[in-house]
């Protein structure tokens, strides 16, 4: 019978042996991707979609992205910046991760990404892209795949002009992305702002705000409330009888297919702007939507589409350096080419490494089966970049 | 004027929701001496069970029964399985154990229901708005919420002050050993009290279903507000919980509604909006701080708890 001490020293040796090949034959081991995302609390479904779509891409490549074996280390940040910071520190120091992705919320990104960049790591964002990383403080190792936060809302402003609205009530939660949202909408909307309201990021009851909207008598309402917040807002909006009288124009993140499934008919008639929709033509997109539906038994959201493309973009760059992230310049150059089959259609990076792409107006209509569905209507902007690119010097 | 009236109604509605949660929390703390962080989980259990059943059967009524049943039974299971071991322990142990329960229940809910938010519609008869005043259309559902909350408050008051169970509850809170010496099974009373608290949390969850997103984590969101209510009202007191809930509901709603307008009288618009946003986030905590300064025991602390 072995003593406890022997057992412990034995397992320590075994662990040491297991670690050994890692340091010697770096090429044979998969590239580690630190995937920090929000998997708990309201909004947890967004992180779940982002994780699942990324995994789908890895699975379709049989454990490889761009032919390079990868290991995706998924961790939940719980929508807590401090928790995310601890996780990223551990991944950087203990796991030697150099490549990160996955973050949903801008406030988490702001807390975590500077640490990654300071350590010489790369961050490829499948979602959040706050203004603070797009302009003067842009960084050569930071890439955004989905959008720059403001463009979501700038294009909603363009759509509102197109629809002829003159007085808007605008609402967003009181945090960085919410402020970016209202700034972005104001930048392009030509009419008058009848009311500007900040909500709380943990708010679920919007009765007070709805009364303020009614009192302001606007032509339209623009609101940015992602995830569970958006579900509560749209439902209460319909219950208050506002849906029939004041039309709503929103960015796509306030009306993804999950929100739509949860609010049902309350969403009929809402207009949104987007860079991707499930009904987009193109073989690559159809294949993605079908594969996601088959594997996870739910309709892919816009968040899932972005994350799938993030995986493809990373794959294209990994292929160029054969998985060797120490060739940082070559990896960056390959990322910038954006040499991957984007399911949204045309895609390229602007000078600040944020997307330049087309934007579309979509509308909630009754589908063939009687359930509400997001239908693409018209293009609202072509080759649209963001308003911070000019101030970025790389 | 109409806006003020409407916002007052909104405040009342938020208040009764908070009351349903705070009543259970304060009952359990006042009588059993347990700090139950997992109270929000019972709210989530109620909301989820009712959403799942209402979706399957298409009947809000069956959903209501399922929500109440799941929360009540879940609560009693938690009392029998976990909290019973904690009565004699320090509060810190209780906080640790009930925090663990939050993680456990959230994990189970994710496994069973998933992270996708659930859809639950208000009953057809209660959807839509009713004209209370020329120019004031108010959602019927919110009026019903206010009605149910007030009804529950009255019922609870009657149970605690007029029934034999209520007498045992009140006596058990202050003179546990005496009650036991009289041959009353105090453990059974505790289980019942906890079940009652869980039932109220479940009711709040069912009611909240058609308003908010039913999903994992919804309990934690509302928990802090509930604790503020209990602290303001005075721990252990149902009347305190009612007063505290109404105050918090009104203060929260009215600052959100009117602080921006008032601040715009003295500040530029963009600064006023930003400051008002911050002010409305902390208004209830300011209220709590002020109450604690003047009355450290809360506004209406339970009798016998003050020594």
- Identify whether B191 is part of a domain: yes
The DSSP secondary-structure symbol of B301 reads P
- Averaged pLDDT score across all residues of chain A: 90
Residue B256 belongs to some domain of the structure? yes
pLDDT digits (tens, 9 = 90+) for A153-186: 999 999 999 999 999 999 999 888 898 899 999 9
CB neighbour class for B261 (10 Å; exposed up to 12, middle 13-18, buried from 19): middle
pLDDT for position B184: 84
- pLDDT above 60 (res A22): no
pLDDT at residue B155 in the model = 93
Measured in residues, chain A has a length of 394
Instruction: Count the neighbouring beta carbons within 10 Å of the beta carbon of residue B43.
Output: 32
The yes-or-no verdict on residue B300 having pLDDT over 90 is no
Cross-strand bridge partners of residue A192: A167
Interchain proximity A239–B139, CB inside 8 Å: yes
Q: For the segment A83-117, what is each residue's pLDDT rounded down to a tens digit?
A: 999 999 999 999 999 999 999 999 999 999 999 99
Q: How far apart are CA A264 and CA A195, in angstroms?
A: 27
A215–B217 C-beta distance less than 8 A: no
Q: Residue B304 — pLDDT band, cuts 50, 70, 90?
A: low
Nearest CA in chain A to B271: A196
Query: With an 8 Å Cβ cutoff, are A198 and B273 in contact?
Result: yes
Q: Is the pLDDT of residue B164 over 90?
A: no
**pLDDT at A141 exceeding the cut of 90:** yes
Count of structural domains within chain B: 1
Write down the pLDDT at residue B38.
92
Q: Is B224 inside any structural domain?
A: yes
Most B CBs within 10 Å, among A169, A201, A241, to test the B interface: A241
Angle of helix B164-174 versus helix B140-162 axis, rounded to 10: 70
Which among A48, A192, A201, A239 is the top mutation candidate for probing chain B, defined by the most B β-carbons within 10 Å of its own β-carbon?
A: A239
Average pLDDT over residues B149-176: 86
Residue B289 belongs to domain with CATH number:
1.10.3470
CB pairs under 8 A between A and B: 127
CB contact (8 A) between residue A207 and residue B14: yes
Decide if B39 is inside a domain: yes
| DSSP3 helix / strand / coil % (chain A, rounded to 5) | 45, 20, 35
Q: What is the mean pLDDT of residues B189-201?
A: 90
- What is the distance between the alpha carbons of residues B18 and B208, in angstroms, rounded to a whole number? 11
Quote the percentage of chain A above a pLDDT of 70. Answer: 93
| Three-state DSSP class for residue A70 | strand
Q: For residue B64, what are the domain limits? A: 14-128+137-294
In a domain, B180, yes or no: yes
**Lowest-confidence pick of A80-94, A248-262, B138-152, B269-283:** B269-283
Domain assignment present for B2: no
Q: Do A239 and B128 touch (CB under 8 A)?
A: yes
Model pLDDT, residue A19: 44
Confidence at residue A123, expressed as pLDDT on a 0 to 100 scale: 97
Distance CA A382, CA A390 (A): 18
Is B213–A198 a contact, with Cβ atoms under 8 angstroms apart? no
**What residues of chain A lie within 8 A of the CB of B253, using their CB?**
207-208
Q: Provide the ipTM.
A: 0.82
Residue in A with minimal Cα distance to B107:
A40
Q: What residues of A are in contact with residue B137 (Cβ under 8 Å)?
A: 240-241
**Inter-chain contact A211–B6, Cβ cutoff 8 Å?**
yes
Tell whether B300 is covered by a domain: no
- Consecutive H or E run containing A375: strand A372-384
B307: in domain:
no
């Amino acid at each position: 019978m072995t003593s406890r001490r022997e057992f412990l020293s034995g397992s320590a040796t075994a662990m040491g042996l297991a670690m050994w090949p890692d340091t010697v034959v770096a090429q044979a081991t998969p590239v580690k991707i630190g995937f920090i995302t929000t998997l708990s609390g309201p909004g947890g479904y967004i992180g779940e979609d982002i994780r699942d779509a990324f995994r789908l891409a890895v699975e379709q490549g049989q454990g490889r992205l761009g032919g390079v074996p990868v290991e995706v280390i998924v961790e939940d940040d719980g929508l807590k910046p401090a928790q995310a910071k601890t996780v990223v520190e551990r991944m950087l120091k203990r796991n030697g991760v150099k490549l990160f992705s996955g973050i949903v919320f801008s406030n988490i990104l702001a807390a975590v990404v500077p640490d990654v960049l300071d350590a010489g790591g790369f961050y490829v964002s499948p979602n959040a892209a706050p203004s603070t990383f797009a302009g003067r403080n842009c960084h050569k190792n930071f890439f955004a795949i989905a959008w720059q936060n403001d463009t979501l809302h700038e294009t909603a402003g363009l759509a509102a002009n197109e629809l002829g609205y003159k007085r808007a009530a605008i609402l967003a939660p009181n945090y960085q992305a919410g402020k970016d949202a209202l700034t972005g909408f104001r930048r392009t909307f030509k009419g008058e702002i009848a009311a500007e309201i900040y909500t709380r990021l943990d708010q679920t009851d919007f009765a007070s705000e709805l009364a303020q909207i009614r009192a302001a008598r606007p032509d339209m309402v623009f609101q940015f409330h992602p995830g569970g917040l958006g579900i509560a807002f749209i439902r209460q909006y319909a219950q208050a009888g506002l849906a029939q009288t004041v039309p709503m124009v929103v960015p796509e993140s306030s009306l993804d297919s999950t929100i739509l499934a949860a609010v049902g008919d309350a969403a009929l008639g809402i207009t949104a702007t987007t860079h991707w929709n499930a009904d987009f033509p193109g073989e690559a997109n159809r294949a993605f939507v079908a594969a996601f539906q088959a594997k996870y038994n739910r309709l892919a959201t816009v968040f899932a589409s972005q994350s799938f493309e993030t995986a493809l973009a990373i794959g294209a760059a990994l292929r160029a350096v054969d998985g060797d992230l120490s060739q940082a310049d070559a990896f960056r150059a390959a990322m910038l080419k954006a040499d991957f089959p984007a399911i949204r259609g045309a895609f390229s990076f602007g000078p600040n490494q944020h997307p330049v792409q087309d934007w579309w107006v979509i509308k909630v209509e009754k589908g063939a089966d009687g359930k509400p569905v997001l239908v693409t209507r018209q293009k609202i902007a072509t080759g649209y970049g963001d308003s911070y690119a000019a101030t970025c010097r790389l | 004027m109409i806006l003020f009236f409407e916002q007052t109604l909104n405040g009342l509605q938020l208040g009764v929701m908070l009351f349903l949660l705070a009543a259970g929390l304060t009952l359990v703390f006042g009588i059993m001496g347990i700090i139950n962080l997992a109270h929000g989980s019972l709210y989530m259990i109620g909301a989820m069970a009712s959403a799942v059943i209402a979706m399957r059967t298409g009947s809000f009524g069956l959903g209501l029964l399922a929500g109440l049943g799941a929360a009540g039974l879940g609560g009693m299971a938690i009392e029998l399985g976990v909290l019973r071991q904690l009565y004699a322990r320090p509060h810190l142990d209780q906080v640790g154990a009930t925090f663990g329960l939050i993680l456990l229940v959230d994990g189970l809910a994710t496994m069973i229901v998933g992270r996708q938010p659930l859809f639950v519609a208000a009953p057809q008869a209660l959807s839509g708005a009713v004209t209370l005043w020329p120019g004031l259309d108010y959602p019927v559902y919110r009026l019903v919420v206010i009605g149910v909350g007030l009804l529950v408050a009255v019922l609870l008051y009657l149970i605690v002050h007029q029934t034999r169970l209520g007498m045992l509850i009140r006596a058990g809170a202050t003179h546990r050993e005496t009650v036991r010496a009289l041959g009353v099974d105090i453990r059974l009373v505790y289980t019942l009290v906890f079940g009652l608290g869980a039932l109220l949390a479940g009711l709040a969850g069912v009611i909240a279903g058609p308003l908010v997103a039913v999903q994992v984590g919804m309990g934690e969101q509302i928990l802090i507000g509930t604790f503020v209510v209990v602290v303001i009202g005075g721990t252990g007191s149902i009347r305190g919980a009612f007063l505290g809930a109404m105050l918090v509901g009104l203060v929260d709603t009215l600052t959100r509604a009117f602080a921006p307008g008032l601040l715009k009288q003295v500040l530029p618009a963009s600064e006023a909006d930003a400051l008002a946003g911050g002010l409305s986030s902390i208004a209830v905590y300011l209220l709590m701080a002020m109450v604690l300064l003047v009355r450290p025991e809360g506004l209406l602390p339970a009798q016998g708890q003050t020594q």
